Amino acid sequence: MTRTAILGVGHHVPSKVVTNDDLAKLFDTSDEWIQQRTGIKERRFIEKDNTGPSDLAVPAVKMACERAGIDVAEIDAIIFATLSPDFNFPGSGCFLGDKLGLPGVPALDVRNQCSGFLYGLQVADAWIRAGMYRRVALVGGEVHSTGLDFSDAGRDVAVLFGDGAACAILGPTEDTSRCVLDTEIHADGSGAKLLWTEAPASAYIPRITHEMIDDRRVWPAMNGKQVFRWATAKMPEVALSVLERNGVGIDDLALLVPHQANRRINELVAQKLKLPPDKVMHNIMHYGNTTAASIPLALSEAIEQGRAKAGDLLLFAAFGSGFTWGASLVRL
Ligand code: ACO
C-alpha cells in the first residue's frame, strides 16, 4: 500500500532581525509585554522591496530538495499555503514554479492561514496515495511585515507576526511504518470576522475607498481573547481525535510541533494533552507567528537540532483565521 513520506524539510527567513525593542520605537508597546503575553523576542522582516513569499520560498524549497536527496527538477506538483500571497492573483505557487524553473508543473494555492500547511498536507497525501504525483513541494510562505499596522491602533496584531518560508518534500513510500499516518482538518466560518483583513473586498462596490483606509479596515483585525479561547479548545480536541483514531497514546509521541501563534497557547495545549514540556517544539521566540510557514519551519529546526529523528512519532496541530484548525500524525 502506497503511503506518503516526508522526504526532506527546509526553511528560509529574511536576514533582518526585528526585536521587540525595535517595535517599541514605532508604537506604544514593550519587550516585557510582548514576551510575557506571547513568548516572542524577535521576528524577521523582509529588507528589500519586491520580495514576496514566493521569493522566500525558493531557498526553502532548494534546502528541502537537498535534504530529500532530489533535484528541484523532479518536483511534479507545488502546493503553496499562504495568507499573504505575493499578489492578489495569480497564486504564489505559480510565481514559485517560475522562479524554480518548473514550467507546466501544477501549482495549487491553499488559503487556510495558520492551518494551511495541514490542509496542504492532507491534499498532498491524497494525491500521492492516489498515485498522481511523486514529488510534491508543500510550501508555507508569508510576508506579513508589509501588511501590518505599525501604529498604536494596530499594536495587538503587529507584535505577533513575522516573515518566512518553509517546505516539505513529500513522496510515495511502501514503508507504512514511516509515513503520514493521518490528518484531520476543520473550519468554522462563524469566527471568520474575529481574525481577518476586511478590505479591499470583492464583496464591496467599490472594493476599496479612502474611507476604508482612513478607518483602518485594510489592516488585519483580531479579537485576541476569542482566538486564544478557541485555539486552546480546538487544538487539543483535534489532536486527541487523531491520536485516538490511530490508537496512539501521549507517551508514544516524540514531539508535538504546533503552529507557533503564542507560546502560552502551546503550553496550555500541552498541559491539556498531559504532554511534558520537553516534548513541545517552540521557536516563536525567534520568528513570531509565520502563519502557514510556522509548522514546517519548526519541523525543519526540530530536525536540525536532533529533536525530531527518523522513526519518531510527531504530532502537528494548528489553529487560525477562518476559523480553521487541524492535526496530523506523522512517523518521520
Ligand atoms: N503592547 C502593549 N500593550 C498592548 C499591546 C501591545 N502590543 N496590545 C494590546 N495591549 C494592551 C491592550 O490595549 C489592553 O490594554 P487595556 O487593559 O488598557 O485595555 C491590554 O494590553 C491587554 O490586552 P488584551 O487584548 O486583553 O491582552 P491579552 O492578554 O488577550 O493578550 C494577545 C493579547 C497576546 C494578542 C492574546 O490575546 C493572543 O495571543 N491571542 C491569540 C492570538 C493568536 O493566536 N492569533 C493567531 C492566529 S493568527 C492567524 O491565524 C492569522
Ligand 1 proximity of 33 Cβ (cutoff 6 Å): yes
Confidence of residue 128 (pLDDT cuts 50, 70, 90): very high
Q: Which residues of 95-134 are buried (b: 16+ CB within 10 A; e: fewer)?
A: bbbeebebeebbbbbbbbbbbbbbbbbbbbbebbeeeebe
Determine phi and psi for 33, rounding to 5 degrees.
Answer: -60, -50
Rounded to the nearest angstrom, the distance between the alpha carbon of 311 and the centre of ligand 1 is 39
State the cell numbers at 108. Answer: 495549487
CA 224 to ligand 1 center in whole angstroms: 5
Name residue, grid cell 522582516.
Answer: 45
Q: How confident is the model at residue 187 (pLDDT cuts 50, 70, 90)?
A: very high
> Can you tell me the distance from the alpha carbon of 218 to that of 263, in angstroms, rounded to the nearest whole number?
27
- The label of the residue with cell 462563524 reads 190
Measured distance CA(54)–CA(290) in Å, rounded: 14
Instruction: Specify the pairing of strand 195-196 against strand 221-222.
Output: antiparallel
How is residue 305 written as a grid cell? 537540532
Q: Is 261 in the pocket of ligand 1 (CB under 6 A)?
A: yes
The answer to whether the CB of 20 is under 6 A from ligand 1 is no
Indicate the DSSP class of residue 279.
G
Instruction: Give the confidence band of 46 by pLDDT, cuts at 50, 70, 90.
Output: very high
Which are the catalytic amino acids?
A: 114, 259, 289
Tens digit of each residue's pLDDT (9 = 90 or more) over 83-102: 999 999 999 999 999 999 99
Q: Does the beta carbon of 183 sit less than 6 angstroms from any atom of ligand 1?
A: no
Ligand 1 close to Cβ of residue 94 (< 6 A): no
Any atom of ligand 1 within 6 Å of the Cβ of 262:
yes
- Could you give the C-alpha distances from 297 to 205, 284, 294, in angstroms and in order? 39, 10, 5
Ligand 1 centre to CA of 277 (Å) is: 24
* Test site for ligand 1: of 31, 156, 198, 222, most ligand atoms within 8 A of the Cβ: 156
Number of CB atoms found within 10 A of residue 78's CB: 29
What's the average model confidence in pLDDT over 109-133?
98
Q: Residues 205-257: pLDDT tens digits?
A: 999 999 999 999 999 999 999 999 999 999 999 999 999 999 999 999 999 99
pLDDT of residue 135: 98
Whole-number average pLDDT of the chain: 98
> Is the bond into 206 cis (omega within 30 degrees of 0)?
yes
Element (H, E) at 97: helix 92-99
- Report how far ligand 1's centroid is from the alpha carbon of 71 (Å): 44
State how far the Cα of 285 lies from the Cα of 283, in Å rounded to an integer: 5
Measured between alpha carbons, how far apart are the two ends of the chain, in Å?
17
| Minimum CA distance residue for ligand 1 atom 12 | 156
Q: Which residues contact 136 (CB under 8 A, 6 or more apart)?
A: 75, 76, 77, 78, 79, 124, 127, 128, 169, 170, 171
Between CA 2 and CA 124 the distance in angstroms is 13
Kindly indicate the confidence band of residue 2, based on its pLDDT and cuts at 50, 70 and 90.
very high
Q: Does the beta carbon of 260 lie inside 6 Å of ligand 1? A: no
- In short, whether 54's Cβ falls inside 6 Å of ligand 1 is no
**What pLDDT is stored for residue 227 in this prediction?**
97
CA of 72 to the centre of ligand 1 (A): 41
Give me the amino acid identity at 90.
P
Ligand 1 centre and the CA of 220: distance in Å?
13
Residue nearest to atom 5 of ligand 1 (CA): 156
Amino acid identity of residue 37, one-letter, is: R
pLDDT (tens digit per residue) in 155-174:
999 999 999 999 999 999 99
Backbone angles phi, psi at 208, to 5 degrees: -145, 140
As given in the structure block, the three cell numbers for residue 32 are: 516585557
Among 37, 266, 269, 291, which is best to mutate for testing ligand 1, by the most ligand atoms less than 8 A from CB? 37
Q: How far apart are CA 113 and CA 186, in angstroms?
A: 12
Q: At what angle do helices 263-273 and 31-38 cross, to 10 degrees?
A: 20
Query: Whose alpha carbon is nearest atom 30 of ligand 1?
Result: 225
Ordered structural domains, the chain, with CATH: 3-173 (3.40.47.10), 180-331 (3.40.47.10)
Q: Are 107 and 80 in contact (CB under 8 A)?
A: yes
Average pLDDT over residues 183-198: 98
Rounded Cα distance between 89 and 201, Å, is 14
Atom of ligand 1 nearest to the CA of 321: 50
